[in-house]
Amino acid sequence: MSAALVAGLLAGYGIAMPVGAVATYLVALTARTSLRTGACAALGVATADGLYALIAVIGGSALTHAIQPITGPMRWGAAAVLVVLAAHGAVTAIARHRGPGTAARTDETPIGPGRAYLGLWGITMMNPVTVIYFAALVLGSRASAEAKPLQQAVFVLAACAASASWQLLLAGGGALLGRLLTGSRGRLVTAMVSSTVMTVLAARMLLSPS
């Protein structure tokens, strides 16, 4: 049981800790909204990671072969969504910086916790690397072939918990950043840097070998 717990924690941190476009967006989203919204977005990412861990445990190699033909379209879709989010963040930041009138109109419909959760869940689910990662871990472990359902459940829950703890840490960093950069210019610079990084990472996602 303890082996499954440790394996799940390591797997969850392994997929969550590399800083990519989703992590960058999570930090920027929390900085310009609230810790509650950022936490919900973080849990959306963790939910997707946990779901993919569950699918990998159940499906194994069959799942990996099944998604192989659609890996390309999924990667393009994820990259496109990230680029749109980056552009939206940059445009919104510029609009808020230019004048109080425009900022007021922009703030009328801020993103809510529910929308943040579903949005980050959807983006993470569009990343085929996640399921391939978990499937490779499951298939590469000799113990997984003899694992009992309870051990498999512990692995999935541990992976989800590890991902959630890391994503919540990023959201907390975003909330702290938002408090430190309360000025209009500070928020503009932060948003522009975030959008640039997201665009670069999305391009890297498309250019990296499958």
In this prediction, residue 142 carries a pLDDT of: 46
In this prediction, residue 106 has a pLDDT band, given cuts at 50, 70 and 90, of very low
In this prediction, residue 74 carries a pLDDT of: 64
How much is the average pLDDT of 127-136?
69
Tell me, letter by letter, the H, E, C secondary structure of 160-184: HHHHHHHHHHHHHHHHHHHHHCCCH
How much is the average pLDDT of 20-48?
88
Give me the residue spans of the domains in the chain.
Answer: 2-207
Asked if the model's pLDDT at residue 102 lies above 50, the reply is no
Name the average pLDDT for the chain: 75
Q: Which pair of tokens denotes residue 74? A: 């999924």
Taking only the tens place, the pLDDT of each residue in 174-191 is: 888 777 665 666 667 766
pTM for the predicted model, two decimal places: 0.69
Residue spans of alpha helices (H) in 61-183: 61-67, 71-98, 100-106, 113-125, 128-140, 142-145, 149-180
